[in-house]
Amino acid sequence: MGKWNIEPAGVKSVVTKVAGHVTDGHGGGDTLEHHLKQFGDHIEDAGTAAASSPIGTALKEFVEHYSPTLKGMATKTGGCIRGAVDATKYYIQGDLEMAAEAQRKATRAE
């Protein structure tokens, strides 16, 4: 591994901004969490408006197929945020081995 040169304040700034794009803690705002909820609501509304069993079935299958991917986006982002925070914490403590491990775990987040 190369040299580390982390600015904790910079990490905090970036992590805070990224986390704010994922969730605001209330399920609202212009966040990934909010848009995923809206997506589900819009699909449900589309199925109701279509009033067609084949279209309703197709929409249900579409959601079942893509839901894990969409939820995975939030999970992966959360894992990367935690990894950045953990790596920075270990860096500050002078434990570069644990910082590197935290970084590796973040890149493998599901």
**In this predicted model, what pLDDT tens digit does every residue of 10-33 receive, in sequence order?**
999 999 999 999 888 776 788 888
Which band of pLDDT confidence, cut at 50, 70 and 90, is reported for residue 70? confident
Q: What confidence tens digit (pLDDT) does each residue in 39-49 have?
A: 888 998 998 89
- The position carrying tokens 């600015």 is 7
CB 62 within 8 A of CB 93: no
Q: What confidence tens digit (pLDDT) does each residue in 76-100 have?
A: 888 899 999 999 999 999 999 999 9
- Output the six-digit token pair for 17: 């901004």
**Residue 110: its pLDDT value, please?**
67
**Residue 49: its pLDDT value, please?**
93
**Residue 2: its pLDDT value, please?**
59
The whole-angstrom separation of Cα 87 and Cα 96 is 8
What is each CA distance from 9 to 1, 13, 14, 109, in whole angstroms? 23, 6, 9, 24
